[in-house]
């Protein structure tokens, strides 16, 4: 097959390209130019583009750079800022996957005659009697199926995930054996368009940070903050509030600039309401079926069931921050998911 490999400049996509080439495919590498601001580092930096280009040269495959900066700003960065201004906790990597990697890139690949797109994500595309499904990667500690929950059968049919059956250690070992320059490269852990000065500075420069009060559940002022957008539901560190017991962020009222904090038991909820729900196979699970619910990229799944637009938990769980992904699984297979309200 003619395969277009999204090469981020990291070890996973480097090995993905190498494996596809070894399997006999006609492989072309592409790196996405997504952000040109003064925080140009992280997973899409100039240095990463150069690493991807050099790995492609080592492998003897063509390499191109696609400039999707305008699309990225409109589909990822602007909604990220707007979400924080509204007191939400967005996941920009999810939106990048939805709109850019498996939106614009897949469209470009199809338009230029490629049979499939490949990435270095730690997840697996599996065949099932009812069609293609997305499953967790073999290395559960590095599994990335959560951030790919929105992929449907049509996208999965054109997607290859060559390192999904490997552990991270095996990926690095294979890269070292091949002499790839990315074999020992550290993982990028930051949001690619936020580095210098961090999230608070990034949001402050865009007029989102609004100072206000920190209050307890009764509304009593217990402290002050420099911007509600810097807080997220469930946060415990960096509250700047002295107390005899641990306090957690219970609510963020961006309009009023108020952050409510309280004890951990005040965070517990019986359910979460979702918006923008998608199902891999097009159909929602039966309300009587117990599914596994995951609310963080590497969070521990817990049982629940679907009830209309809500997911009911088998046992009370800490409140899911509005704006976060709630992914549902049947065993290790993704059923679908949505965004917490």
DSSP assignment letter at 286: P
What are the φ/ψ torsions at residue 319 (nearest 5 degrees)? -55, 135
Q: 186-191 — which CB contacts under 8 Å span 24+ positions?
A: 187/10, 188/8, 188/10, 188/42, 188/43, 188/48, 190/41, 190/42, 191/42, 191/92, 191/93
What are the φ/ψ torsions at residue 300 (nearest 5 degrees)? -80, 125
Partner residues linked to 307 by β-bridges: 310
Q: How far apart are CA 320 and CA 295, in angstroms?
A: 7
Catalytic residue (one of 43, 44, 93, 96)? 96
Q: How far apart are CA 241 and CA 34, in angstroms?
A: 38
Catalytic residue (one of 43, 44, 93, 192)? 192
SS (H, E, C) 218-271: CCCEEEEECCHHHCCCCCCCCCCCCCCCCCEEEEEECCCCEEEEECHHHHEEEE
In contact, 33 and 49? CB cutoff 8 Å: yes
Verify whether residue 96 is a known catalytic residue: yes
Q: Give the CA count within 13 Å in the CB-facing half-sphere of 260.
A: 15
Q: How far apart are CA 267 and CA 274, in angstroms?
A: 18
Verify whether residue 93 is a known catalytic residue: no
What are the φ/ψ torsions at residue 150 (nearest 5 degrees)? -80, -5
- Please give the positions annotated as active site: 96, 192
């Amino acid at each position: 097959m003619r395969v277009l490999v999204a090469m981020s400049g990291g070890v996973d996509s480097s090995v993905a390209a190498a494996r596809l080439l070894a399997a006999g495919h006609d492989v072309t590498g592409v790196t996405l130019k997504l952000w040109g601001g003064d925080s140009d580092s992280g997973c899409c930096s100039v240095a990463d583009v150069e690493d991807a280009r050099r790995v492609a040269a080592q492998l003897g495959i063509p390499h191109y750079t696609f400039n999707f900066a305008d699309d990225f700003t409109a589909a990822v960065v602007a909604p990220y800022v707007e979400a924080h201004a509204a007191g939400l906790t967005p996941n920009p990597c999810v939106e990048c996957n939805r709109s850019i990697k498996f939106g614009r890139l897949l469209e470009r690949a199809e338009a230029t005659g490629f049979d499939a797109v490949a990435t270095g994500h730690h997840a697996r595309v599996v065949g099932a009697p009812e069609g293609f499904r997305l499953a967790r990667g073999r290395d559960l500690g590095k599994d990335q199926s959560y951030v790919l929950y929105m992929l449907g059968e049509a996208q999965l049919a054109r997607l290859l995930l060559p390192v999904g059956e490997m552990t991270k250690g095996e990926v690095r070992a294979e890269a070292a054996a091949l002499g790839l320059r990315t074999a020992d490269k550290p993982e990028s852990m930051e949001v690619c368009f936020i580095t210098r000065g961090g999230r608070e500075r990034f949001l402050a420069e865009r007029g989102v940070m609004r100072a206000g009060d920190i209050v307890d559940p009764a509304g009593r002022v217990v402290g002050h903050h420099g911007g509600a957008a810097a807080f997220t539901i469930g946060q415990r560190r960096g509250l700047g509030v002295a107390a005899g017991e641990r306090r957690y962020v219970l609510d963020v009222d961006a309009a009023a600039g108020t952050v409510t904090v309280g004890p951990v038991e005040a965070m517990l909820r019986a359910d979460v309401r979702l918006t923008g729900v998608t199902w891999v196979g097009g159909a929602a699970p039966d309300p009587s079926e117990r599914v596994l619910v995951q609310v963080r990229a590497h969070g521990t799944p817990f049982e629940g069931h679907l009830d209309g637009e809500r997911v009911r938990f088998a046992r009370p769980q800490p409140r899911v921050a509005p704006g976060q992904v709630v992914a549902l699984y049947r065993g290790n297979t993704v059923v679908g998911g949505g965004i917490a309200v």
